[in-house]
Structure 1
Amino acid sequence: MKTCSRVKMGSRLKLLVLTAGVCMSLTVGCGKSENKYTYRDAGIEALNAGDYESAIASFDEAINASNALVGAFDIDVLKYRAEAEYRAADYQAASDTYGILIQVDKERPEYLNMRCVSKAQTGDLSGALDDYKRAAELDTEKNAPGRAEAILAAGAALENQGASAEAMTLYESAQAEGIENAELYNRMGLCKFGEKDYETAITYFAQGLLKPDAASVPDLIYNQAVAYEYKGDFDKARELMEQYVAGNSSDEEAARELEFLKTR
Structure 2
Amino acid sequence: MKRISLKKAAVFIASLLAAVSLWGCSPVATDTMQKADEALEKGDFDSASALYDAAIEEGKQLQACYRGKGIALMGKMEYKDAAEAFEKALESATFVEKNLYHDGMEDDIRRYLASCYIHKGEPEKAVLVYDALIKNDDENITLYMERGTAKAASGDLDSAKLDFDKAINMDRHNYQMILDIAQTFDKYGGREYGVGYLADVRADREDTIDPVLKGRILYFLEDYEGAVNLLSSSAKTDEEAAMITCRCFMALKNMKSAREVLDSMGEKVERSPSLLNLSGNIYFRQKKFKKAAEVFEKAASVASGSTELQDILFNRAVAYEYAGDFAKAKELFTDYLKQYSGDKQAVRELKFLNTR
2:175 to 82, 103, 108: 82
Residue of structure 2 equivalent to 1:219: 311
Structure 2 counterpart of 1:168, which letter?
R
Deviation at 1:133, TM superposition (A): 1.9
Alignment of 1:118 with 2:232, yes or no, is: no
User: How do residues 171-210 of structure 1 correspond to structure 2 at under 5 angstroms?
Assistant: 171-176=262-267, 180-209=271-300, 210=302
Displacement of 1:177 in angstroms is 5.6
Residues 215 and 230 in structure 2, CA contact (< 8 A), matched pair in contact too: no
C-alpha distance in 1, partners of 2:200/2:295?
35
Over 3 Å counting, the alpha-carbon distance change for 1:221 and 1:163 in structure 2 is: same
CA-to-aligned-CA distance 1:201-221 (integer Å, 9 cap, x gap): 122212222235633352211
**Residues 94, 244 of structure 1: alpha-carbon distance in 2 compared, 3 angstrom cutoff:** farther
Let me know the Cα RMSD of the aligned residues.
3.3
Alignment pair present for 1:135 and 2:231: yes
Q: Which amino acid aligns with 1:111?
A: D
Structure 1 residue 134: Cα displacement: 2.3
Whichever residue aligns with residue 257 of structure 1, its letter is E
Tell me how far apart the structure 1 counterparts of residues 305 and 143 of structure 2 sit (CA, whole Å).
20
Q: Is the 8 A contact 1:189 1:202 kept in 2?
A: yes
Structure 1 stretch displaced more, 223-232 or 240-249 = 240-249
Alignment map for 1:17-56 (pairs within 5 Å): 52=145, 53=164, 55-56=167-168
**Residues 182, 213 of structure 1: 8 Å contact kept:** no
Tell me by how many angstroms 1:114 deviates.
0.9
Asked if residue 237 in structure 1 is aligned to residue 333 in structure 2, the reply is: no
Shift of 1:95: 6.6
Where do 5+ consecutive residues of structure 1 fail to align? 1-6, 14-44, 61-77
Say whether the 8 Å CA contact 2:2–2:311 is kept in structure 1.
Answer: yes
Letter of the 1:134 partner, please give it. L
- For residues 207 and 99 of structure 1, what CA distance do their matches in structure 2 show? 43
Cα deviation per residue 1:78-137 (whole Å; 9 max; x = unaligned)?
2xx21322344466435742563334x4xxxx63321221232x3x33x14313322334
**Cα distance 1:212–1:161, how it changes in 2: closer, same or farther (>3 A)?**
same
Distance 2:321 2:276 in 1: 19
- Give me the whole-angstrom Cα distance separating, in 1, the residues matched to 2:203 and 2:264: 27
Change (3 A) 1:247 1:100: farther
Distance across 2 between alignment mates of 1:177 and 1:208: 12
| Identity value in percent | 23
Q: Which residue of 1 aligns with 2:71?
A: none
Task: Give TM-score, length-normalised by structure 1.
Answer: 0.60
**Unaligned 5+ runs, structure 2:** 8-138, 146-163, 185-193
Query: SS at the partner of 1:8?
Result: coil
CA 152–200 in structure 1, closer or farther in 2 if over 3 Å, else same: same
> 3-state DSSP class of the match of 2:338?
helix
Change (3 A) 1:94 1:191: same
Give 2:347's aligned residue: 255
What is the distance in 2 between the residues matched to 1:157 and 1:226?
A: 23
Aligned length: 194
Q: Does 1:9 align with 2:3?
A: yes
**Contact kept? 1:94, 1:115, Cα under 8 Å:** no
1:97 match: 201
CA distance in 1, matches of 2:225, 2:305: 25
Counterpart residue identity of residue 317, structure 2: A
**Greater mean alpha carbon deviation, residues 50-59 or residues 81-90:** 50-59
Contact 2:280–2:295 (CA<8 Å) still a contact in 1?
yes
Amino acid paired to 2:312 = L
Structure 1 pair 56–211 and aligned structure 2 pair: CA distance change class (3 A): same
Per-residue CA deviation, residues 20-77 of structure 1 (Å, 9 max, x unaligned), is xxxxxxxxxxxxxxxxxxxxxxxxx957x686556522234xxxxxxxxxxxxxxxxx
Rounded Cα–Cα distance in structure 1 between residues aligned with 2:349 and 2:313: 13
Match of 1:16 in 2: none
Go from structure 1 to structure 2 and tell me whether the alpha carbon gap of 1:165 and 1:84 turns closer, same or farther (over 3 Å shift): same
Matching of residue 164 in structure 1 with residue 261 in structure 2: no
| Mapped contact 1:132–1:150 kept (Cα < 8 A) | no
